[in-house]
Amino acid sequence: MNIYVKREEVRNLKLTKEQQIVVEKDEKIILVKAGAGTGKTEVLARKIIHLLENNINLSITDFTIITFTNKATDNLKSRIKDYLYSKWQGSLGEEKTRFRYELENINSANISTIHKFCKYILNQAGPISEPNYSYSSNYTVKNNVLDLTIKLSIEEFIQEKKVLNQSIVTFNFIQVYEFEKYIKQAFNQIKSKGYNLETVLEIFPPFLEDHRNKKEIREEFNLVLRKVNKKYYTLKNRSIDTEELLEYTFQLLKNNKWIVEELQDNIKYLFIDEFQDTSMYQTEIVRLICNSNEKSPNLFLVGDAKQSIYKFRGADQSSYNQTANWVGTIGSVLPLNTNFRSTPELIQLVNVIFQSIREKFPIISFKPENLRVPEIKFKPEIDMKSAYEWKLIDKEADYSDEVTKYVQKLVLEGENPGNIAILFRKNRSMLSYAKKLKELNIPYSLVGAGDFYVQKEVIDCYKVLKYYTSFKNEILELEVLESKFFNNNKDLLLSFVSELDYQSAIQELTPAQFLDMLFSISKINTIMKKQEYANLLKLKELVRKLNKQENIGVYACADWLSIQINSNIEETQATILENMYKKNEVELITIHKAKGLEFPIVILPELDQPYGKFIKNPSIIVDNKLGLGYYYRVYSGNYVEIKSSNYDSIIDQYETDLYSEELRVLYVALTRAEEKLVFFGRNSCPSQENCFQNWLDCVKPFN
């Protein structure tokens, strides 16, 4: 599954008619609605090359190209580089010189994620000092300031209540740690959606609640939320989080016309990939730069509303729809619906499934257009049975057992493990599947989940840190001596401690320097396996970044690592170079992480899993018209629940949006397969349950 185009094949790739229309369309503003497997990345690269070919006054440095991830940036750069290389090889004279120049410029071209683009804009305009925000190029990007702010705000709130001898009604229903979590959810929802906090809180004030407890709970919640909002910007102390990169850029462009004009002078074409996953801030930034005046750059957007599955990160479907309508009135909206990834049988299967869902659930807004089969793959008659297989297991059976046994059967029949992917809705169960595959001696790789922090080498590092910061505790010393670092060599341990003490007396050691000294003195690189040593190097890089962001010392690092280990924080193990391009491993990956990828055989397990009540009925929900709603559940003693008076009104629209989002997730999962889908569900799945298994019931088991 090589995602890169081989240079010798570049000139032989032919575009379809609909792809050719997109590449050659001469319009100032274009939105390409590209379905799954339609070759959108290829079309984007070819559009860029087409523009360079047909306008000698254009250069790759005139383009700003926004991608969704760093990996997508590298992929697109590689494709463009291959095409430029091909053009350089096949041209003569001035044209050859020109394409050589473009090749040399590709690595410095403005191809990046939206966050890097925003940081570039802020750096160019900075330093900035406005009433509501400030920015300088030496600000660090931090993402944990909010946690500290919430803790301090709640502590202050509790102390104020104690001084006044007043009780806190909220804590009759939920614990402090739950309150912290709900405050964080509310703050992040309001912020990521671009809402004004005061406006949201004033939509549904406390006096509108229909019960005294509800009124007091809302008053307490609003009070703490306001404290957090006020303290947050004080505590940030020359730092900025990733969401603020977008927010500040939007504010900057909105209030400074000269900066917009400067950008318009430097950008002739703005390309944005995966536009369906855009947030409100991203959409507004684009609209401000491409404001339809004579100087504004040409705009080329690529997006598929059917694959918008990042609402939890702030992706805003309404912003995408508004932009699509805007483009439709002043530019061109072009379709790409021909699927080159999947077999005709699979394409037909996906179309049948979503046609059935459209008919059964007309209220759900997700209504994908049918995918088309390429002419070269067209068949007059299609039998969908070869495209899918159902595996229904008993209620008592274990999914990880049944799925991995099925994988083993495929491998024993000669299937390459690298052709198989198991896609998960959530990553919490992935490790159990990995464990079973390991027991069956089937190679696998984990993507989107991981057991990095529970690897012995990482835990041993924590033990050494804890030993040194606990004044050489004797019990800890025995554990440290048993580690691979010292292998029961007390003289080596004493030598290490002595060197640490000496270096610390000269200057305070950073956590990364501590680990560096540990690895060097123990000569651990000569003892450990490649994967183990790669994990140690990854740990050193993680603590180096942590220190850069938070300026923590060795003591704080020991506490941080303890939390990562004991909280089961998921982090993938280090990738070692020789494994990067292996094609013989079963891939365990979340559906979200699989977006943009493809696999011959896709297995979807646990399809009977319903959406939990905490997903269907979240504890905190924010709406720009109905305000903030809460739903607390108490499990100590008798079950008690209390929800705000506006909660049910908010949840009605939320449920419709939720099911539309879940259908888009299902669509992404189904369209990852090239040859076959394997569905794992249960015989006992209740027909009324909202789950993927029931949404797929239009394609019945036939085996």
pLDDT at 538 over 50: yes
Phi, psi of 201 (to 5 degrees): -70, -30
Task: Spell out the residues 6+ positions from residue 343 whose beta carbon is closer than 8 angstroms to its own.
Answer: 377, 386, 387, 674, 675
Range of the domain at 461: 452-571
Element containing residue 630 per DSSP (H, E): strand 627-634
588 with 680, same domain: the answer is: yes
Which range, of 114-123, 308-317, 496-505, 643-652, averages the lowest pLDDT? 308-317
266: in domain: yes
562 with 585, same domain: the answer is: no
- Terminal Cα distance for the chain, rounded: 30
Q: What is the pLDDT of residue 65?
A: 92
669: in domain: yes
659 with 633, same domain: the answer is: yes
- How many domains, the chain? 4
Per-residue pLDDT of 44-93, as tens digits, reads 999 999 999 889 898 999 999 988 777 778 888 888 888 888 888 888 88
Q: What is the pLDDT of residue 315?
A: 54
Domain boundary among 551, 571, 591: 571
511 with 646, same domain: the answer is: no
Long-range contacts of 568-571 (CB under 8 A, 24+ apart): 568/453, 568/454, 569/453, 570/427, 570/449, 570/450, 570/451, 570/452, 571/450, 571/452, 571/453
612 with 694, same domain: the answer is: yes
378: in domain: no
Per-residue pLDDT of 457-483, as tens digits, reads 999 999 999 888 877 677 788 888 888
42 with 112, same domain: the answer is: yes
* CATH number of the structural domain spanning residue 31: 3.40.50.300
259: in domain: yes
Q: What is the pLDDT of residue 11?
A: 43
Which range, of 222-236, 341-355, 629-643, 682-696, averages the lowest pLDDT? 629-643
616 with 681, same domain: the answer is: yes
CA distances from 94 to 101, 159, 216, 376 (A): 11, 75, 76, 39
35: in domain: yes
608 with 630, same domain: the answer is: yes
Region 190-205 average pLDDT: 85
427 with 465, same domain: the answer is: no
* CATH number of the structural domain spanning residue 562: 1.10.486
As given in the structure block, the two tokens for residue 379 are 């068949």
d(CA 17, CA 502) in angstroms, rounded, equals 71
Region 381-403 average pLDDT: 89
Looking at the DSSP assignment, which residues form a beta bridge with residue 34? 336
Triad 353, 357, 360: Cα angle to 5°: 140
What b-and-e string marks burial along 325-354, b requiring 16 or more CB atoms within 10 Å of the CB? ebbeeebbebbbbbbbbbbbbbbbbbbebb
Region 213-224 average pLDDT: 91
413 with 508, same domain: the answer is: no
Phi, psi of 70 (to 5 degrees): -65, -35
151: in domain: yes
Residue type, 472: K
d(CA 130, CA 256) in angstroms, rounded, equals 12
476 with 584, same domain: the answer is: no
Domain boundary among 555, 571, 587: 571
Q: Compute the half-sphere exposure of residue 624: CA atoms within 13 Å on the CB side of its CA.
A: 10
pLDDT at 583 over 70: no
Per-residue pLDDT of 133-170, as tens digits, reads 777 777 776 666 788 889 999 999 999 999 999 999 89
Domain boundary among 278, 313, 336: 336
Triad 399, 400, 406: Cα angle to 5°: 90
Per-residue pLDDT of 352-390, as tens digits, reads 888 888 787 776 666 666 777 776 666 667 778 889 999
pLDDT at 506 over 90: no
536 with 646, same domain: the answer is: no
Q: Report the candidate in 346, 342, 353, 337 with the shortest Cα–Cα distance to residue 383.
A: 346
348: in domain: no
546: in domain: yes
